[in-house]
Structure 1
Amino acid sequence: MSRSVSVLLPIVPTRAEQAAPFAAFVQWRGARALWQGQALLNEQHQIMAQLSGLGMRVPFGLGVSLMPLRHPVQAAIEARTLAAASGHPVTAGFGPGARVFQRMALGAPYASPLTACREYLTVVRTLLDGREIDQSGEYFSYTGSLPASPAPPVEVGLGVLRPGMARLAGEVADVAITWLTPPSYVRDVIVPALTEGARAADRPVPRVVSVVAMAAATGSRVPKEAVAAGSSGHFAMPHYQDMLERAGVGVVPEDPVATADALIAARGALTGSTDDIRAGITAYHEAGADEVVVNGAGVALTEGPRAVLRDLEPLFDGNGW
């Protein structure tokens, strides 16, 4: 697949109509797909299926759904159902979530997140391939298959921040999904680890999808404040802090604006003019990201979703990337 640019739904809608302007943007302006991350306010598959029912049938990306919330058999069924409803391929990304969330949902965190992810993705991929599985795992087990049903293909993705998870993605995933990872880190850490894992498993290297915060410099906006508004929750999580420190981004836990400023300096957020943002996207592509998902959540939180659409408009010329 050629290098592409997609759009993250920057709000958590309660009705599909609230997401419709972004689905329409993807449909008509040449973005590859509309992505949504995990939310607890809504169920993301249902919002996307509702958009398809409204006639806004576009490729969808789910990045990432949290494994503790659904069994991998249900995950496979939901992803295939969404592909059938939309008539387009779906990228279904999964991840274990933060240890604190694992404890909230499961009573205790995974002793080995890598083992949990391996078992989970193996079930999902095998079932989507139409094959029988007989897995008795430490965390996820299933014996059986899914009834055959026509649908566009589903890519199975894994959220990756650090080398161990990237190597695992190389072994078992179709797509590696990064979030807040600067392009230098994608190039120097993520891609080599993916390649190592893929070679060990004698399989193709997965696609790389990088979700990147965006806040154009416009009007009185202070981009670092918008980036901080959309990313402060991630900045507070230990696994994100560890990745950012490895990437040379100084994390200031008590000051998300300072952390956002350091992330921008590392080119890990898209700010500035339209040309600056285009150059930032190109830097990710050159670092090895096949797809860049622009994330205007901070702008949506501080100025509303229409401001995000205004930021997106000049990035797309109708012919795609």
Structure 2
Amino acid sequence: MTHYSILMPFGTPRGEQILPFAALTQWSKAFRLWQGQSVAGDPYQVFAHAAASGFRVPIGLGVTLMPFRHPYEAALQAQSAAATMGHPLIAGFGPGAIPLQKSLLAKPYASQLGAVREYLTIVRALLNGEEVRTSGEYFTCFNTLPSFPGPPVEVGAGVLRPAMAQLVGEVADVAITWLTPASYIRDVIVPELRTGARVAGRPAPKVVAVVPLGLAGPDRDGVDLALTSNSGHLRLKHYTDMLAGAGIAIDMADERASGRAIIDGGAYLFGTVQEIAVRLAEYAAAGVDEIVLNVTGVAFTYGTQAALQEIETVLSEMAR
């Protein structure tokens, strides 16, 4: 069964901004409330605000960036958030873009895959209550994380390209995609996850797809919404590489052509609610376990109320 969840569609400098979305998650058929990395407000603190306000719902972090937190701190925050919410949690991580790594670290990770492997392995072991004794190329940890009864934490990672998918198949519980067409998940991501899992002798990870979308309307330009939601991603090499692998050519020298390309290629869904429902069903058929509705473009263009209505409309259609 594929679940449908909600992405908080903007950063939250004030914790109360999450409350309408937490309420919608609690009162609707939404499965989980997600946040991505934000520097406007730390997502763990924002989730704690929701819990303190009476909205304790399942949550996901997809993805927080490794340069911001040592793996011990990452495991501690995830365990604490699960206990605070009283629900299982998915903690997703990613190395971030090379420019970000350069801005925060002495030097960028020499191997993105190597750094992710070390990070996820440490976090998973700590959350399992194991004593970690790792002196790696990127991370060092000689410690344990005190455990206490609480909901489980699943460890995930952002996945865009085949090599990362295979690695996540080996070491993680969840693969999290973003702006990734259903066909690419079916033909590339899922097979590589299964390959990695076979190598490690373990079950294949769950697949979570964060899917950007917007409903068509007489006052709406789909290309504008697609670019408002994703123009930053379309300037990052790991995204353009993934999209190229899905047959979508991106050249931000012509922004509107690039926005149109991600609509035509199924990376950004734009249409009637019935048309979007058909495209979301393609994600379920591709092997996605959880689809996260991302209405960032709508939120930034039309505001919070329009974003909430958009989510409600799509959730109602998918529940038919």
What does the per-residue CA deviation read over 1:84-133, in whole Å, with 9 as the maximum and x for residues that have no partner? Answer: 00001110000000011110110321000111000000110001011111
Cα deviation for residue 318 of structure 1 reads 9.9
SS of the equivalent of 1:92 reads strand
Partner residue in 2 for 1:305: 304
Runs of 4+ in 1 over 6 A off after TM superposition: none
Partner residue in 2 for 1:55: 54
Count of residue pairs the alignment pairs up: 320
SS of the equivalent of 2:176 reads strand
Cα deviation for residue 302 of structure 1 reads 1.2
2:277/2:318 contact within 8 Å kept: no
Equivalences for residues 161-200 of structure 1 within 5 A: 161-200=160-199
Equivalences for residues 1-321 of structure 1 within 5 A: 2-317=1-316
State the TM-score, normalizing by the size of structure 1.
Answer: 0.97
1:181/1:268 contact within 8 Å kept: yes
**In structure 2, what is the Cα distance between the partners aligned to 1:102 and 1:51?**
30
Cα deviation for residue 316 of structure 1 reads 2.3
How many percent identity over aligned positions?
Answer: 49
**In structure 1, what is the Cα distance between the partners aligned to 2:144 and 2:61?**
23
1:114/1:165 contact within 8 Å kept: yes
Residue type of the alignment partner of 1:57: R
Residue type of the alignment partner of 2:109: Y
What does the per-residue CA deviation read over 1:29-66, in whole Å, with 9 as the maximum and x for residues that have no partner? Answer: 11111111101111110000110110111111101000
SS of the equivalent of 1:177 reads strand
SS of the equivalent of 1:316 reads helix
Residue type of the alignment partner of 1:187: R
1:29/1:320 contact within 8 Å kept: no
Larger mean Cα displacement after TM superposition, 219-228 or 122-131: 219-228
What does the per-residue CA deviation read over 1:124-179, in whole Å, with 9 as the maximum and x for residues that have no partner? Answer: 00010111111111001111211121210101001011001000000001000011
Larger mean Cα displacement after TM superposition, 44-53 or 214-223: 214-223
